[in-house]
A and B are shown apart, each in its own frame.
Chain A
Amino acid sequence: MTELPILSLVTFLPLAGAVVLLFLDQDNPGLLKAWALAVSVVTLVVSLPLWAAFDPSQAGMQFVERIPWIEGLGVQYYVGIDGISLFLVLLTTFLSVICVVSSWGIEKRVREYMLFFLLLETGMIGALVSLDLFLFYVFWELMLIPMYFLIGVWGGKERVYAAIKFFIYTMVGSLLMLIAILSLTYVNYRTTGVLTFDLLELYRLPLAPNVQYWMFAAFALAFAIKVPMWPLHTWLPDAHVQAPTAGSVILAGVLLKMGTYGFLRFAMPLFPNAAHDFAPFMMALAVIGIIYGALVAMVQTDVKKLVAYSSVSHLGFVMLGLFAFNLQGVAGGLYQSLNHGISTGALFLLVGVLYERRHTRAIADFGGLCKVMPNYTAVFIIITMSSIGLPGLNGFVGEFLIMLGAFGASKPAAVLAATGVVLSAAYMLWMVRRVFFGPLEKEENQGLADLNKLEWGYLLPMVLLTFWMGIYPGPFLRKMDATLEGWLAHLEQKRVACEALARPDLLALLKGAPGEGAAR
Chain B
Amino acid sequence: MTLALFVVFAVLAVAGAVGVILCKSPIHSAMSLVGTMVALGVIYLLHHAEFIFVVQLMVYAGAVMMLVVFVIMLLDLRAEGEAEGRLTGPKAFGLLLGGLLGALLLVPLAARLTGLTGDMTTDALVRVGSVEFLAGKLFGEYLLPFEIVSLLLLAGLVGAVTIAKKRL
Direct contact of A and B (CB under 8 A): no
Interface residues in chain B, defined as those with a beta carbon under 8 Å from any beta carbon in chain A: none
